Chain A
């Protein structure tokens, strides 16, 4: 017991990937494209979001290259504007929003609650097609001239002052929005109706709670951005004047509508990531999450408060000073549940039996980076300091700490955690640990200097900047290069592992979730027999008894 890993693999000389699993059950392209299996759809999503991630990442690379020097020398300002706009649109709508829910959520929500599939499998497939339609349209608009409004589509710039592909990009986001709504709806119905016998609400893994909260946000907030986009389209095509002050419209109304979605969208992105972190930290410290109920309810609290803070994006926009007070106060309140989660995860380690496999390294990265990202959010939520920091690189650094440092780290933690379950094979441990460390270093080098740039006042979305900002920008670009390596490595070794990885067996991490109590890769129907939940979530003693019983039942057979 004195090894410092919990990985327990079956005897490699005899172990086989089970012949019948969801990958081998049916063959041919059509069996994938017309599948209703949540696991296959999750894999379709995984492939497509990886594709969009690398497009968005390439655009980020172009941004960082341009910002290496103070002048605009790599590309024209117009091109730069299109590049950062498309980076934002692709990363937010086509990577971050669907990332964890549509891949890991899709795959594991039914398995964790002991169901055969999501409640609405065809709707699930439809939402992937909607996502792809939106994504392909977005890439097409990029190839056919792009759009330069910024991902925020701010009016009246987007309605009257640019002649780029606003309508098609808007349509792409609109379509992708429905994908998100349908996914959220599907999760809510599934979590309510499909739980296995004995799986009470407070026996649910925290991953499920986080997805439940995020799903509510998807269903309630996304329609608002859809409406906002339709209004932009109508205004742009027919000049209806809702946002046009010369016709009595209100140009700020768009921002209210947009942020009414886009602030909760931040929680749509981060909550599922928090769910992953709960699973990973529990597994690799062999402990039930400290204060399970507090973590579960803090997800719900974030979702509820998240709806009432949108105007903190508009503190300097001439909204009433008293509205600023209210929104600033509510923003402070929404920061509390995040702080609670951080401390609960940290205290889960207390008296645990900790090992440092790759998912755990990513989770540690998440804890540090999300703490910084969250604290700097308070800088922006306090109305006074927001005046100086908003619309600068401080904000860019802040949301990248939350979205990339938080969400992407959580996504990678999750991918590494469940990869053996999805594929039945292990990836090489040493190189994946290296990739986690490289990502962490590269990330900090990229985005930490941007906090300082922001305090110095460097505005965001600038193609050129005063020369005194160059040193920090060079650091940032250097970091982005390292970060790029950190992201490419997993693609390489994960693909490698599909053929050459060690056979993982059912439960390589000795985790407690129901998804680990079945074969890897799972059967199309997930479980050979309907599971019955007779213990709490993260019950490691139960797991030990199970394994003991299993050994005893096999012992006479072997002897």
Chain B
């Protein structure tokens, strides 16, 4: 072929060296997912073989030449029960097996490290707790559960890492989470799989999986000088949040220390757990979420803070919880010691209490 057409030859070489039939398995969940996938492929192949074999053998045995007069058969309850119950049983096995994997993918372990990812037309912006920003890339260590908290700033996007077998929709105005534990260092595709407008097919990126050692180095070299919580603190100050949310006895707003994860009584009656979603809503849409004992005077910040800003504020508020702070420090001490800085340093509380809630 080389003699006939070098162009075609090169094309073929390029193809065959660049040809894949199965994606790499680079996370802990991937082999589990693939086991189910192979089981399904096997069942499908057997089912298809049975159907094709029956059609072919009936076509041979009972074609008109060989079998000129058809024998009428009304049906058979036994046979029909067989091909109702066996497929049903197999489908139910797949249902249970699938559900087990589904719950695993969307239930992060308690001590996973959290990275925020904001999707917008047409890029992925990742915010590490240490303040490292990334666009269209995400660096993660091996051997460590990483929870990704997703939100979209505009339309639906979908955060897909085929090598990890995980995917989660990034929804406007709502946090969603997914987690994974990477196992093999390397660079993998990150795709946006939910159609999101003109440059949907360019909303891709790289997932860079590193050994914990390399990851620590990467974190140190990419720090922007301030952690996410510190960015949040600055924003907290510049928006004058502290004018009301302070520790004075006559404060017009509730004190936010320790509020993350706490059960809050609402002015409208009932209680609510102050998780990411609630805090985000309370910032953007405060009149709907007034804490008991306070007047509904907080103005809305809708349109004034970007999703990244909200995330920084959340991270700051989370860090006002001393227990949480300890846990975060234990989980993500990958920060260089100097950059811990001004975050509230009440690291005395026992480490076992605070956990990242999905």
Contacts and interface: CB of A to CB of B under 8 A. Distances in A.
Interface of A: 1-6, 72, 77-78, 80-81, 148, 150, 152, 154, 156-157, 160-162, 245-246, 248, 251-252, 285-288, 290-294, 315-318, 321, 324-325, 328-329, 332-333, 335-336, 339-340, 342-344, 346-347, 349-356, 364, 367-368, 371-372, 375-376, 378-379, 381-388, 390-392, 452, 455-457, 459-471, 474, 540-541
Contacts of B202: 77, 464
A239 B91 CA distance: 44
Contacts of B173: 245-246, 251
Contact of A324 (B44, B102, B158, B163): B102
Nearest to B17: A468
Given A382-B40, A452-B21, A468-B20, A391 B97 contact: no
A353 to B, nearest CB: 4
Contacts of B105: 384, 387
Contact of B40 (A81, A332, A385): A385
Contact of A349 (B21, B58, B87, B162): B58
26 contacts: A156-B156, A157-B196, A160-B154, A160-B155, A245-B172, A248-B285, A287-B70, A318-B176, A321-B106, A324-B102, A332-B91, A332-B92, A336-B87, A336-B88, A352-B58, A353-B67, A353-B70, A356-B63, A368-B52, A379-B44, A382-B36, A383-B99, A387-B165, A456-B21, A456-B22, A468-B18
A360 to B, nearest CB: 9
Contact of B201 (A156, A251, A364, A463): A463
A148 B196 CA distance: 10
B59 interface: yes
B175 to A, nearest CB: 8
Interface string B82-107: 01100110011011011111111111
A348 to B, nearest CB: 9
B38 to A, nearest CB: 10
B200 A461 contact: yes
A350 B200 contact: no
Interface residues of B, number: 95
Contacts of B52: 368
Given A161-B197, A367-B55, A384-B98, A340 B162 contact: no
B231 interface: no
Nearest to A461: B195
Contact of B47 (A78, A352, A375, A385): A375
Closest 8 CB pairs of A and B: A457-B162, A245-B173, A384-B101, A382-B98, A391-B193, A291-B75, A384-B98, A383-B102
A470 B195 contact: no
Identify which of B14, B20, B36, B176 gathers the most chain A CB atoms within 10 Å of its CB. Answer: B20
B250 interface: no
Given A349-B58, A354-B59, A375-B44, 5 more contacts: A156-B156, A328-B98, A332-B91, A346-B54, A540-B72
Given A316-B158, A457-B162, A339 B19 contact: no
Interface string B321-349: 00000000000000000000000000000
A353 B61 CA distance: 9
A316 B169 contact: yes
A378 B33 contact: no
Main secondary structure of the interface of B (DSSP, over half): mixed
Contacts of A390: 167, 193
Contacts of A352: 58, 62, 67, 70
B167 A391 contact: yes
A390 B193 CA distance: 9
Contacts of B204: 466
A325 B99 contact: yes
B124 interface: no
Contacts of B15: 470-471, 474
A353 B51 CA distance: 18
Nearest to B94: A382
Contacts of A161: 121, 154-155, 197
Contacts of B21: 452, 456
B198 A78 contact: yes
Nearest to A474: B15
A201 to B, nearest CB: 17
Identify which of A379, A390, A457, A474 gathers the most chain B CB atoms within 10 Å of its CB. Answer: A457
Contact of B64 (A287, A339, A355, A468): A355
Given A371-B48, A383-B99, A2 B65 contact: yes
Nearest to B105: A387
A251 B171 contact: yes
A133 B58 CA distance: 47
Given A6-B64, A77-B201, A336-B84, A286 B94 contact: no
Identify which of A4, A376, A462 gathers the most chain B CB atoms within 10 Å of its CB. Answer: A462
B80 interface: yes
B194 interface: yes
Identify which of B98, B106, B172 gathers the most chain A CB atoms within 10 Å of its CB. Answer: B98
B198 A387 contact: no
Contacts of A152: 195
B269 interface: no
A287 B72 contact: yes
Contacts of A388: 33, 37, 162, 165-167
A512 B55 CA distance: 23
A349 B102 contact: no
Contact of A81 (B67, B73, B200): B200
B199 interface: yes
A375 B79 CA distance: 20
Contact of B195 (A150, A245, A339): A150
B69 interface: yes
B11 to A, nearest CB: 9
Nearest to B165: A388
A346 B196 contact: no
A351 B73 contact: yes
B246 to A, nearest CB: 29
Given A342-B51, A385-B36, A388-B33, A355 B63 contact: yes
Contacts of B162: 388, 392, 456-457
A34 B169 CA distance: 50
B51 A368 contact: yes
B162 to A, nearest CB: 2
Contacts of A368: 48, 51-52, 55
Contacts of A318: 168-169, 171, 174, 176
A384 B104 CA distance: 9
B68 interface: yes
B201 A461 contact: yes
B191 interface: yes
A276 B94 CA distance: 31
A540 B68 CA distance: 13
Nearest to A287: B70
Contact of A154 (B33, B195, B288): B195
Contacts of B36: 382, 384-385
A294 B97 contact: no
